[in-house]
Amino acid sequence: MALVRERRQLNLSLPLPEPTERRPRFPLPLPPTSTSATASTTTSTSAISSSDLEKLQVLGHGNGGTVYKVRHKRTSAIYALKVVHGDSDSTTRRQVLREMEILRRTDSANIVQCHGCLEKPSGDIAIVMEYMDLGTLDSLLKSSGTFSEAKLALVARQVLNGLSYLHAHKIIHRDIKPSNLLVNKNMEVKIADFGVSKIMCRTLDACTSYVGTCAYMSPERFDPDTYGGNYNGYASDIWSLGLTLMELYMGHFPFLPAGQRPDWATLMCAICFGEPPSLPDGASNEFRSFVECCLQKESSKRWTAEKLLSHPFLSRDPET
Ligand SMILES: Nc1ncnc2c1ncn2[C@@H]1O[C@H](COP(=O)(O)OP(=O)(O)OP(=O)(O)O)[C@@H](O)[C@H]1O
């Protein structure tokens, strides 16, 4: 099976940005003068350096990097600073450069905003991002429990806005999951972590790399040969969104009973050979239909982000 070959020879060969792209094209903008906890968009172009930022606490560790909550010393504006150390392996460095490249290209209310990029003489690379004070949807699930349908409709609409923007710009995220979706206290949800994303150069580019988090991968990503040697990466993001919403509703990963730890082989068989998971009794027809539109095994039958934005599940009364 194609996946077995891919597992032996993980395709981590994300192309490095062109040499001219490796240094930030723009100076780090000054933070807004407001002292609010969440940094807002700024149009200032004055540059600041990493010495202007005071580290307050570690927010989390990712694949090779650390994310800090930082304060701009002069304005007190708060940001999240993702740092990848100079001695990190080349894959990690490539991923953060890729993330920088994508964040610089994007401008959407539902994609985490990049306020600038820093490169230190030590080789450390850092991205200054807006700070999302409630963390990830995964941490919110763990701290506050499962999400109501009304909340999920709110989440789904925002993630779809972000995905529809990315897909229109030929960017495939490839790792949509609760821990890559950030949220703030206004219940604004933003897509983050573009380390394994792909920018499609042409509409019909092949998308074959085996990257991302196995559990949220669509069936065609495990065995692209069955689908003619490539897969529709846009549809794959939609599959991952469907699983993400189910997990937030049920409180556990949908393919497995609560409490069971996934092992790679069981998961792969369930995803490729089993029926797509369905919602438990009690879910509304609209939510059930929405999830079915995301979790079509045949990728060409899956709805696009644009089409899902008009699904009746998203227009329900937020109070119900
Ligand atoms: N902009 C942000 N605002 C607030 N917290 C953040 C922000 N970005 C990241 N974090 C926190 O830092 C953690 C690490 O983020 P990061 O993107 O480095 O890695 P990850 O997505 O958890 O893992 P990986 O990179 O291995 O997929 C996140 O889980 C989240 O808790």
Looking at residue 162, which CATH number applies to its domain? 1.10.510.10
Whether the CB-CB separation of 127 and 114 falls below 8 Å is answered with yes
The Cα 274–Cα 149 span in angstroms is 26
Q: Is residue 202 part of a domain?
A: yes
100 lines ligand 1 (CB under 6 A): no
What number of CA atoms fall less than 13 Å from residue 270's CA on the CB side? 18
The pair phi, psi for residue 189, each rounded to 5°, is: -115, 135
Ligand 1 touching residue 64 (CB < 6 A): no
By the 8 A CB rule, do 155 and 141 touch? no
* Residue whose tokens read 């069981």: 266
Closest atom of ligand 1 to 196 CA is: 27
Q: Supply the pLDDT for residue 304.
A: 97
Domain membership flag for residue 208: yes
Distance 175 CA to ligand 1 centre (A): 13
Is residue 295 one of the residues assigned to a domain? yes
Q: Does 175 participate in catalysis according to the annotation? A: yes
Nearest CA to ligand 1 atom 7: 80
Which residues, 6 or more positions from 295, have their beta carbon under 8 angstroms from its beta carbon?
239, 242, 243, 276, 277, 302
**Residue 17 belongs to some domain of the structure:** no
Mean pLDDT score of the chain, rounded to an integer? 81
Question: CA nearest 39: which of 4, 65, 69?
Answer: 69
Domain tally for the chain? Answer: 2
d(CA 200, ligand 1 centre) in Å: 24
Residue 69 CA to its chain's centroid (Å): 19
Same domain, 155 and 284: yes
Residues 141 and 118 grouped into a single domain:
no
* In-domain check, residue 69: yes
Tell me the residue type at 155: V
The answer on 157 and 99 residing in a single domain is no
How far apart (Å, rounded) are the C-alpha atoms in residues 295 and 303?
9
CA of 158 to the centre of ligand 1 (A): 19
Last residue of a domain, one of 130, 155, 180: 130
Quick one: pLDDT at residue 129?
Answer: 95
Instruction: Indicate the residue among 130, 161, 181 that finishes a domain.
Output: 130
- Distance, in Å, from the CA atom of 22 to the CA atom of 26, rounded to the nearest integer, reads 11
Q: Is residue 1 part of a domain?
A: no
CATH (domain of 81): 3.30.200.20
82 annotated to bind ligand: yes
Asked, for residue 21, whether it belongs to a domain, the answer is no
120 lies in the same domain as 164: no
Same domain, 56 and 175: no
CB 93 within 8 A of CB 122: no
| Ligand 1 contact, 78 CB (< 6 A) | no
- What's phi and psi for 258, nearest 5 deg? -55, 135
180 lines ligand 1 (CB under 6 A): yes
Catalytic residue among 87, 175, 193, 223: 175
pLDDT tens for the chain, residues 1 to 320:
444 334 333 322 223 333 333 333 333 343 333 333 333 333 333 466 788 899 999 999 987 789 999 999 999 999 999 999 878 888 888 888 889 999 988 999 999 999 989 888 888 999 999 999 999 999 999 999 999 999 999 999 999 999 999 999 999 999 999 999 999 999 999 999 998 888 776 544 555 555 567 788 888 887 766 654 567 789 999 999 999 999 999 999 998 877 777 677 888 888 888 899 999 999 999 999 999 999 999 899 999 999 999 999 998 766 65
Full-model pTM: 0.83
Verify that 207 and 287 share a domain, yes or no: yes
Q: In sequence order, what are the residues at sequence separation of 6 or more whose Cβ sits closer than 8 angstroms to the Cβ of residue 232?
A: 207, 220, 299, 300
* Start-to-end Cα distance in the chain: 45
The tokens of 31 are what? 């933070």
Helix (H) or strand (E) holding 72: strand 65-72
pLDDT of residue 227: 53
Question: Pick from 107, 130, 153: which residue ends a domain?
Answer: 130
Rounded CA Rg of the chain: 20
Model-level ipTM above the cut of 0.90 = yes
Q: Which of 151, 171, 313, 289 has its CA nearest to residue 236?
A: 171
User: How much is the pLDDT for 224?
Assistant: 67
> Ligand 1 within 6 A of 37 CB?
no
d(CA 110, CA 19): 29
Same domain, 208 and 285: yes
Task: Based on the fold, state whether residues 73 and 205 are members of the same structural domain.
Answer: no
Q: Which domain holds residue 113?
A: 44-130
Return the bridge partners of 188, or none: none
Distance 126 CA to ligand 1 centre (A): 13
- Residue 184's pLDDT is what? 97
Q: Residue 193, Cα to own-chain centre: how many angstroms?
A: 5
Looking at the fold, whether 232 and 289 belong to one and the same domain comes out as yes
Q: Do both 123 and 145 map to the same domain?
A: no
For residue 119, the cross-strand partners are 125
Is residue 182 in contact with ligand 1, taking CB distance under 6 Å? Answer: yes
Task: Provide the pLDDT for residue 51.
Answer: 87
Closest-lying ligand 1 atom to the alpha carbon of residue 65: 18
Instruction: State which ligand 1 atom lies nearest to the alpha carbon of 66.
Output: 18
Q: How far is CA 162 from CA 38, 110, 176, in A?
A: 19, 5, 11
Same domain, 55 and 141: no
**β-bridge partners, 198:** 172
Q: Which atom of ligand 1 is nearest to the CA of 139?
A: 31
Whether residue 25 is contained in a domain is answered as: no
Query: Within this chain, do residues 49 and 77 fall inside the same structural domain, yes or no?
Result: yes
